[in-house]
Structure 1
């Protein structure tokens, strides 16, 4: 099962996901990207066998509502601070619009020191809390759009759609530096994940964008389950396996041969047990 959760502010994504897991007696759970504790919004999680599908999700773009405050800077780039005064300068509406528009496109970001990025196996935020030197490499991300801009000094609000891996805190900090005022993020809400909003139904096939092999012969399922091969006579690709509208696994095919398989054992056992 894939499910969209709404994380409240001031709770970690890990805690929100674990609470959902406990409330629904789920044995295994995975996610497609966390939110900072101060942020709120959508988390896309997968449960049990469907966690095997997470690496195959194609579209990982996200949409956010953002609020930022000018005139100050923060070591964490958000309200968790510590926060320091930076400048009394008040940019004009035109300056703000120009700088925001200049951020759209393919850009490089340096992740915040207070982030979950690993350096030699250690989380960056752990090193930052110990005041140790941190060398984070720039990453390539894409800012697709910045819309719904509202500006009344010292607050800027906007909506942005970005590629996977984009740090909105870093975007806010960079905007503040470009405006010569400094800035930190005061509010963040993820409103879309993988183009899904809170009330959308989730089509696994569209989420992964993998072609589907529909199987009606139980003997084929048994052979695959027990490690035997089957000639599907298909082009090189990864494929979802479906039986009676149930996804039962993923196979990779190279030169008509199955090179790897990730089968949903519990689902297959239920199918075979029922027949």
Structure 2
């Protein structure tokens, strides 16, 4: 019961609490308050504070983060590249230098903090509480379903968005499970968010980022399939590439899928 209450408090605070503030600087300040809040809640439910949720700078964390960032960024840029090539998106240009400061801060800082917090709640908190207590299949299922439902706040609730989030959640959840490193997870999340933010910004509107683009309205079967195919292929790549990461898993995290 404590774990459920703690999860609800953290998730609602991040999803709703910070968005109620209109000023972006107040929003950022409220976002930073998440970390001491998460520390005390993690202690309350029996985890070792933020460290117990996976936030530690272990040996090899930079490598894990860098590899994962390249994976997330590359696959999402491939996605947008295909949309540009097929005419679904049209490149107009870059915003004038005088207008770049806020979009750069919002994209590179805002998405980093947002990605990390989401990963700490949905995967760091959930996995570290449940590993060794229930079968890993159910841990994966719980974490991925929570991630898919949590996307309701940002993308709306639909069958399309749920399947997309499930496919993306496979890579994010497997990365942290396989390595024990939150950075292997957050790197992917941050990388794809940066690719998204370059064109859509933090507000999620075409041209709201650093580059100005237009959505042409040319929708096809390919445009629908890309949101499933790209995350699926990325997951297959992640399965293979994990052997190059630094593994920091504790002995009690060694729970086989077949157990």
TM-score category of the 2 structures, normalised to the smaller one: under 0.3
Q: Higher helix fraction: Structure 1 or Structure 2?
A: 2
Q: Whose radius of gyration is greater, 1 or 2? A: 1
Instruction: Please give the TM-score of this superposition, normalised by the length of structure 2.
Output: 0.23
Instruction: Please give the TM-score of this superposition, normalised by the length of structure 1.
Output: 0.22
| More RCO (CA 8 Å, sep 6+) | 2
Q: Higher strand fraction: Structure 1 or Structure 2?
A: 1
